[in-house]
Chain A
Amino acid sequence: MSTDLNIDHVANLARLALTPEEKARFSAQLGDVLGHIEQLRKIDVSGVEATAHAYPVFNVWADDVARPGLPVEAALQNAPEHRDNMIVVPKVVEGE
């Protein structure tokens, strides 16, 4: 399974610039994780229903009642730069 691991691809997806040493270290660590998953895959779970949660709780919701949000000043206060009450980011075209 660990042979499927493409560390460059994974790092790129996470937007991480890794040094060759880090790549080697994380490849090994992630390989161990995948090895553990391989072990888990050997367990027969054919009688177990798949679930995304360990606890059977459903339909946790709220009524659709709008309440005030953050003042625009507060919404912008963590932004490194803003203009016209909008957050300034480098120009990026989707998919690049």
Chain B
Amino acid sequence: MNYEAVIGLEVHVQVKTRSKMFTRVEAGYGRAPNTLTDPVVLALPGVLPVMNKVALDAIIKAGLMLGCEIAPVCKWDRKNYFYPDSPKNYQISQYDQPICRGGFVEIELPGSARNVMGEHKRIPLTRIHLEEDVGKLNHETVDSLIDYNRAGTPLMEIVSEPAMHSAEEAFAYLTSLRQTMIYGGISDCDMEKGQLRCDANISIRPAGETKLGTKVELKNLNSISFVRDGIAHEIKRQVAVIQAGGTIVQETRDYDGQTGTSQSLRTKEMAHDYRYFPDPDLMPVKVDEAWKARIKSECPELPFDKQRRFIEQYQVPYTITSVLVPDQELSAFFEEAAKLSGKPQQVGNWIVNDLLRELGNARIGLAEAKVKPAHIAELVKLVDSGTLLSNAAKDVFVEVFQTGDSPAAVVDRKGLKAETNAGELEQWCRDAIAANPKSLADFKAGKDSAINGFKGFIMKAAKGKANPKLVDETLRRLLAGL
């Protein structure tokens, strides 16, 4: 029997703010333990939480970018539980009134080849709400150590509908969601720093069945490839259990990316009872049209929209756009150079091949690079006009990259200007024809490639500075007259 997997993802994304969600102590990562706390974080008696305006702006932006409906009014609830990651014994969250509902994440599945755009799909979202992150427990041999630095960091929970059917789709979903958050400046989504975390709900059912099977929650998917591997592994495990005549038990499993295995986390049969109730310390949030309009005006073009536009407006190949678009800065660099030069394809090639190679070699980011869009545009023009030969242009680019000098200045300094003196070029062509009677005979006999016999001679005479296009034209003109 064939089985269909049904996957829903719960993604937690830390919002990039300076201070915490409900208090103004600094939010940060990688700091000495328990140095980012204050009385609110530690839940000392008498404290009151106060919302972070920027975190609210950020979740509204996330909602608008993902096509969600923004609730006109929403409130805060306490999610009660006992676990030392929360000093309050509750987490401030949103229960029945999330700030965002609906919406979708556009995903792209792998194409038939690397240079072919894959199928696009919309994965519907259930909701996005805002809450506070909890502290981090470090489990040692006999006890656990708590660091509350992370506690209180603004955290969005983005819940998808159970609408994905393969590990590839889940991978594409997470990749796209991450990209969107980064584009919006909402989060850096560094999974190693825990800024994006993912849990997956996975079930299987016989193909064609509409009822959902028993779901298993997979935790600890702490890299995007672990998400893909973990889900693929879980689907296989469930199919094997069913095929062996077993049944799927509702449970939480922990995926170990290093070993590619998962194990059941011992949990009580009883469902969690968090006894949510409205937080009396926090007043509700009211989002009016003006606020939404302001955030809307700050939303950037979505990555896939940009990619479609680049392909249409600049006629650049898919492969080039799939390198440019994930990097907002690089996309802007491309667009500026493309507009300046009017030759977007060439600009795309320079950026994707030469610029990225040099950035990699120098181990620097684009912002630190001395080469500017105007340099690329100038280089493209020099090559296009025949002033600079393609081979030499590669070296010119490296020099521009290293010095920040204009390509024209580098060409002058290195004496790389292609020979365009028509008289001199014609003389070289005549010499070449005279020196190669065999090529001449072959050419006249109809063998077009024999023309190459002359070109080597000319390039040698011109010390590589002759423009191949001009050489070809001149040769053909002279040969036609012979």
Contacts and interface: CB of A to CB of B under 8 A. Distances in A.
Interface of A: 9, 13, 15, 52-53, 57-70, 72, 75-76, 78, 83-96
A38 B23 CA distance: 38
B34 A66 contact: no
A33 to B, nearest CB: 14
B144 A60 contact: no
Contacts of A70: 25, 37-39, 42
A28 to B, nearest CB: 21
A53 B19 contact: no
A92 B144 contact: yes
A4 to B, nearest CB: 13
Contact of A93 (B51, B143, B265): B265
B268 interface: yes
Most B CB atoms within 10 A — which of A57, A69, A91, A92?
A69
Nearest to B284: A58
A89 B144 contact: yes
Nearest to B291: A59
12 contacts: A52-B284, A57-B283, A58-B73, A62-B24, A62-B50, A67-B19, A69-B41, A72-B33, A87-B148, A88-B145, A93-B139, A96-B266
Contacts, number: 137
Most B CB atoms within 10 A — which of A60, A65, A75?
A75
A13 B274 CA distance: 9
B273 interface: yes
B36 interface: yes
B51 A60 contact: yes
A52 B32 CA distance: 39
B140 A66 contact: no
Contacts of A75: 34-35, 37, 42, 148
B145 A83 contact: yes
A62 B53 contact: yes
A69 B26 contact: yes
A49 to B, nearest CB: 10
Interface string B206-240: 00000000000000000000000000000000000
Main secondary structure of the interface of A (DSSP, over half): loop
Contact of B268 (A84, A86, A87, A95): A95
A88 B142 CA distance: 10
Given A68-B26, A70-B37, A91-B143, 6 more contacts: A52-B280, A53-B283, A59-B285, A62-B50, A85-B35, A89-B84
B386 interface: no
A61 B143 contact: no
B25 A72 contact: no
B404 interface: no
Given A85-B33, A91-B143, A67 B284 contact: no
B56 to A, nearest CB: 7
Contact of A86 (B27, B33, B36, B273): B33
B60 to A, nearest CB: 12
Contact of A64 (B18, B32, B80, B283): B18
